[in-house]
Amino acid sequence: MAARNTARKRAFQILFEADQRGVDVLTVLADWVRHSRTDTRQPPVSEYTMELVEGYQEYEARIDELISQYAVGWTLDRMPVVDRNILRLGAYELIWVDGTPDAVVLDEAVQLAKEFSTDDSPAFVNGLLGRFKDLKPGLRRDA
């Protein structure tokens, strides 16, 4: 399970970097892959990291729409950049990846929020992704 945890963390970092730089996530992913192949100090980018980033990119507009719709009191652009990208990754994995139990997705997202964001972020991330979990069949169908 540690490999998946690392893959999620790297996928989050790629989404975060793309958001900060204002570039496409696939561009940042390609940069990470290239660097890992040319610099032995860089860790490799796992298949699961690539799956998460590419999967998020496929549903990017829908995921941002869902976050905007259900994040009460927060617009996407006002949301802390860390939280926004944890939610993006979590929403993709929760709604569109069948092989990962929902509880694992929520726990991993909360752990990322604890590690990289504010004291209030874990509860916010858990609450919003918990809402997506409850609405999952409809959200997936509506995509």
CA distance 28 to 13: 10
Q: Delineate the domains of the chain, giving CATH numbers in brackets.
A: 1-140 (1.10.940.10)
* 35 pLDDT above the threshold of 70: yes
CA distance 52 to 42: 19
Q: What is residue 1's predicted lDDT score, i.e. its pLDDT?
A: 54
For 94-108, the pLDDT digits (tens) are: 999 999 999 999 999
For 65-124, the pLDDT digits (tens) are: 999 999 988 999 999 999 999 999 999 999 999 999 999 999 999 999 999 999 999 999
pTM above 0.85, yes or no: yes
Mean pLDDT of 43-49: 95
CA distance 133 to 33: 31
Q: What is the token pair recorded at 73?
A: 């009191």
